[in-house]
Amino acid sequence: MFRLDNKIAIITGGGSGIGKAIAQVFSRQGAGVHILDVDQAGAAGVVTDILKAGGIASFKKCDVADQLEVKKSVDDILNASAAIDILINNAGIAHIGNAENTAEPDFDRLLRVNVKGMYNCLHAVIPHMKEKGGVIINMASVAATVGIPDRFAYSMTKGAVVGMTLSVAKDYVHQHIRCNCISPGRVHTPFVDGFIAKNYPGREQEMFEKLSKTQPIGRMARPEEIACLALYLCSEEAAFVTGCDYPIDGGFTRLNN
């Protein structure tokens, strides 16, 4: 079950964190993996690990907010693979701030990466999926549906991701393109470690435990757990699933009172 043999997957932001875990899990399940990322060193390391394990992988340095870069990267992948079966729209950035103290450049930057970046990838890939179908996963967040302090711009962009997901699922259901989104709670990634180290020097362990306990289950998610949900949604076992937002949050959205 949950095999992706002979499938070609594009994973944006696959050089670290959740994207890295998805690339590794998909490769183990038989997919050819193509990573788009601005983090050349991180993505190249993921590709090297996959190749050493006997998988198929490549990396293209690409700013998803640049439509021409995205189109060129997709065209290059098509020239090498002749098909794109899966798009994992994972690349994104975070921001801390409310409506008053979020500066316009930060607001624009989040829109550019988190919203326009996803649009650019959808715009480039969907035409090549229409003939034989495909699967798209957009990475949203619990911040799209739950009020989280000081996440004004980030929450706004993730709400847009959920809206784009529903629209794509509706527009292309008859072309056999399935589109869903995943809404993680807190996930233990290098970003979290860097955020804590930057904002709470000397209190890293204390703050890690405090943030972990905001999930009723008592810990943060592991990137591999998000990757396994993505694997299911991209597999033939999920052939009846489209137009859905999947929280994976340790009970955060429903059990916090």
Interhelix angle 223-234/17-28, nearest 10 degrees: 50
Would you say 209 and 192 are in contact if contact means Cβ atoms under 8 Å apart? Answer: no
Our answer to whether residue 154 is catalytic in this structure is yes
Strand partners, 183: 247
Residues in the chain: 257
Residue 163 host element (H or E): helix 152-171
Residue 131, C-beta contacts closer than 8 angstroms, at least 6 positions apart:
none
Nearest to 49 by CA among 18, 31, 27: 27
Instruction: Name the 3-class secondary structure at 221.
Output: strand
The answer to whether 143 touches 154, Cβ cutoff 8 Å, is yes
Question: Among residues 119, 154, 172, 232, which one is catalytic?
Answer: 154
Would you name the residues annotated as active-site residues? 154
